[in-house]
Structure 1
Amino acid sequence: MPIFDKELPDLEAYKPEREEQPDFDSFWTATLDEARQHPVDARFEPVDALLSTVDVADVTYRGFGGDEIRGWFVTPHGADGPLPCVVEYIGYGGGRGLPHQWLLHASAGRAHFVMDTRGQRGGDTPDRDPYPTTPSYPGFMTMGVESPETYYYRRLMTDAVRAIDAARTHPLVDPAKIVVTGGSQGGGLALAAGGLASDVVGVISDVPFLTHYRRAVDVADDGPYPEIKWYLRDRRGRVEETFKTLSYFDGVNFAARCAGSGLISVGLLDNVCPPSTVYAAYHHYAGPKELRVWEYNKHEGGANYQQAEALRFLKDLLG
C-alpha cells in the first residue's frame, strides 16, 4: 500500500502537544491505591507443559477491583535465580494461549510473566462486568468511555501494573530488573505500565496501540480505532467528552512518565496504528530510548526481526 500518513522527515519531527488533564496523576494514583487495597495474592501453580527446557506455572493474581487475573510464568528449567523478569502484555482480542507459545525470554535465561487480558477473545480471565457501563460500539474501545472511572482500559491498565507487583513476589525474580513488553495493544499497555510503575528498568513497545487517540481516529482505517469513530457517528454531542476520557489512557502521556530505557518500533505502512501516533509517543518518551523503523511493513512491524532487536536490547540492558 502507498504511504498514507506523514512523510518520514515530518514523522521524525512530529512531537504534538499532549492532551493531558490536570488531574491525570491524581486519577492514576487513586486508581492504583484503590487496587492495592486488595492483596495481590499471586499464586504460581506448576503445570506439566510437556516441555523439558523450561518450567511453567499457571498464575492467578488480583488486578483491578480484586478481580482474579490469569497468566503464565515461564523460567529456564531448574533456574535458582534471581532472574531478570520480562512482563508481557497481549494484543487486542487475544488471550494468554498455551505455554509453548512463550519460550523466547526463558530461552534467553530470563523469567517471563505473561498477563492474560480480561474479557477479550481467547483469554481465560473473565471481564467480571457488573462494572456498570452504558451502550457502546462492539469491541472494547468505547466500553464505559462515558467517564475515566468507568472506562474498560482503566481496569486493564491497572491489571498491567498489578502484574508487575505479582511478578515481584516470586522468589526467582530480581525485583530490581523488571522489563515490560508487548505489541499493539500490548505495546500500549507496556507504555502505561512503564509510566505508572516508574521503577521498571525497561519498556519494549512494538507498534503500540492506545496512543495519540485523536490523530489515530482521524487516520487509521483498519483495526480497533475506527470503533471510536463509529461510536461517535451516533453520539454527535459527545466528541470532546469522549476524547477527554481517552486522554487519561493515552500512551503519549504515559511515555512522558517512563524513566526506564525504551525500545519502540514502528511500521511506516501501518494503517492500524498509524506511524504518526507511534512517533508521538516516541518523541515524548522521557527515558533513554531507541526506535526501530520498518519502512515497508504494516502492523506486523519487524515481527521476528524485531524480536531479535529486543533480545539484543535486553542483553545490553540486563546482561
Structure 2
Amino acid sequence: MALFDLPLDELRAYRSESAEPEDFDTFWEKTLQEAREHDLDARFEPVETGLTTIEVYDVTFAGFGGHPVKGWLRLPAGATEPLPLVVEFLGYGGGRGLPHESLLWASTGRAHFLMDTRGQGSTWGGGGDTADPVGSAPAYPGYMTRGIDAPENYYYRRVITDGVRAVEAARSHPLTDATRTVVLGDSQGGGLSIAVGGLVPDLVAVAPNVPFLCDFPRAVTLTDRHPYREIGLFLKTHRERAAEVRRTLSYFDGVHFAARGRAPALFSAALEDQTCPPSTVFAAFNAWGHEDKTIDVYDFNDHEGGGPFHEAARVRWLRSYA
C-alpha cells in the first residue's frame, strides 16, 4: 500500500479535532478511586520454565471492579536489588502467552511485567487467561463497541483501569524499583501505554509503538481496516447512535490522555499503516504533554512499523531513563 494519509510535513503539524469532555479528569479520578476500593491483592507465584537466565512469576491482581487480572513478571535470574521496571501492554486480540515468551526486557537487566488483556487472547500468540465478566448491550463482534452506549459501560474503561492497577501491582514486588517505571506497548498496547501515561504521573518514560486508540474522529472515517472498522460497521446498523458513540469514545481517546503525559516519550509511526493511520499517531504525539518527546517514522512500512529495528531503538532510548 502506498502512502494514503497526510504528507509528513503536515503530519508533524497535525492536531486532532477530537473534543475533550469537560468532566474527563473527574470521570477518570472517580473510575480509579472506585477501583482502588478493592484490595490490590497482587500475588506472585514462581513458575518452573527450564530457563536459566530469567525467573518468571505468574501474577494475579485485582483490576477494574476487583476482577482478577493475570500477568507475567520476568526478572533476571539471581536479582537481589530492586530493578528498573518495564510494564508492557499487548496488541489487540493477544494474550499474555506462555511463560517462556517475551524475554527481551528482562534480558536487558530490567524487571518486566506483561499484563494480560481481559477478554482477549484468542486471536494470535500463546493465548490469554483473563476473563471479562462484564457484559454489554448489543455490539459488533470484537471489543471496540462493547458497552459503547455510555462511557461508564465501555470496555476500555475496564482495560485502561486494569493498566493502571498493573503498574501498581508490578511496583508492589520487592525486586522492582517504583521510581524507575516505564510503560510501553505496540498497537493496542501503545494506546494503553498512552492512557496509563496520562493517568500515572510519576513514570520515567513512555514508549508507544504504532499506537491504537488515538484520534477516534479521524480514525473511524479514514481507514477501512479493523479494529477501527468495527465502530463504522456498528453505526452502519445503529444509524441513530453516532453522537452517543462519539461522546463515549471521547473519554478514551489517546489524544486527551497524551495531553496529560508527564514523562519523556518515544513514539513510532509507519506511513503506510492503515490499521493505525499515521495522522492518528501524530495527533497523540503532538498533544503529548512533556517536552522531551521523539517520534521515529518508518516511511515504507505498514502496521509492523519498525519491527525489530524499533525494538532495538527502544532498548537504546531507554538507557537514558531506566
TM range (shorter): over 0.9
Q: Distance in 1 between matches of 2:212 and 2:149?
A: 20
Partner of 1:123: 128
Partner of 2:168: 165
**CA RMSD for the aligned pairs?**
0.8
Q: How big is the shift at 1:278?
A: 0.2
Answering whether residue 188 of structure 2 is matched by residue 185 of structure 1, we say yes
Partner of 1:307: 311
Partner of 1:31: 31
Question: Are 2:86 and 2:183, in contact at CA under 8 Å, matched by a contact in 1?
Answer: yes
After superposition, residues 201-280 of structure 1 pair within 5 angstroms as 201-280=204-283
Residue identity opposite 1:128 in structure 2: P
Q: Deviations for 1:110-157, whole angstroms, at most 9, x for unmatched residues?
A: 00000001001221001112x4x2100000000000000000000000
Q: Deviations for 1:223-275, whole angstroms, at most 9, x for unmatched residues?
A: 20000000001111111110110010000000100101101000000000000
Residue identity opposite 1:215 in structure 2: R
Q: Deviations for 1:177-232, whole angstroms, at most 9, x for unmatched residues?
A: 11001000000000000101111111110000000001001111212000000000
SS at match of 2:185: strand
Answering whether residue 302 of structure 2 is matched by residue 298 of structure 1, we say yes
Partner of 2:320: 316
Given the two structures, how large is their TM-score scaled by the length of structure 1? 0.98
Q: Distance in 1 between matches of 2:17 and 2:211?
A: 18
- Please say which of residues 15-24 and 108-117 is displaced more in the overlay: 15-24
SS at match of 1:317: coil
Count residues in correspondence: 316
Q: Distance in 2 between matches of 1:192 and 1:57?
A: 26
Partner of 1:45: 45
Q: How big is the shift at 1:12?
A: 1.3
SS at match of 1:306: helix
Q: Distance in 2 between matches of 1:81 and 1:300?
A: 36
Q: How big is the shift at 1:75?
A: 0.5
Question: Are 2:183 and 2:207, in contact at CA under 8 Å, matched by a contact in 1?
Answer: yes
SS at match of 1:304: helix
Partner of 2:138: 135
Residue identity opposite 1:138 in structure 2: P
SS at match of 1:99: coil
Residue identity opposite 1:313 in structure 2: W
Answering whether residue 17 of structure 2 is matched by residue 3 of structure 1, we say no
Q: Distance in 1 between matches of 2:306 and 2:132?
A: 31
Unaligned segments of structure 2, at least 5 residues: none
Q: Distance in 1 between matches of 2:250 and 2:92?
A: 19
Q: Distance in 1 between matches of 2:73 and 2:195?
A: 21
Q: How big is the shift at 1:100?
A: 2.1
Q: Distance in 2 between matches of 1:195 and 1:88?
A: 15
1:283 to 264, 282, 286: 286
SS at match of 2:196: helix
Partner of 1:103: 103
Q: Deviations for 1:280-301, whole angstroms, at most 9, x for unmatched residues?
A: 0000001121100000000000
Residue identity opposite 1:296 in structure 2: F
Q: Distance in 2 between matches of 1:101 and 1:263?
A: 24
Q: Distance in 1 between matches of 2:81 and 2:249?
A: 40
Identity, in percent, stands at: 54
Q: Deviations for 1:2-27, whole angstroms, at most 9, x for unmatched residues?
A: 11111111111112344110000000
Q: Distance in 2 between matches of 1:249 and 1:90?
A: 17
Question: Are 2:17 and 2:217, in contact at CA under 8 Å, matched by a contact in 1?
Answer: no
Q: How big is the shift at 1:317?
A: 1.2
SS at match of 2:198: helix
Unaligned segments of structure 1, at least 5 residues: none
Question: Are 2:137 and 2:147, in contact at CA under 8 Å, matched by a contact in 1?
Answer: yes
Given the two structures, how large is their TM-score scaled by the length of structure 2? 0.97
Q: How big is the shift at 1:40?
A: 0.7
Partner of 1:64: 64
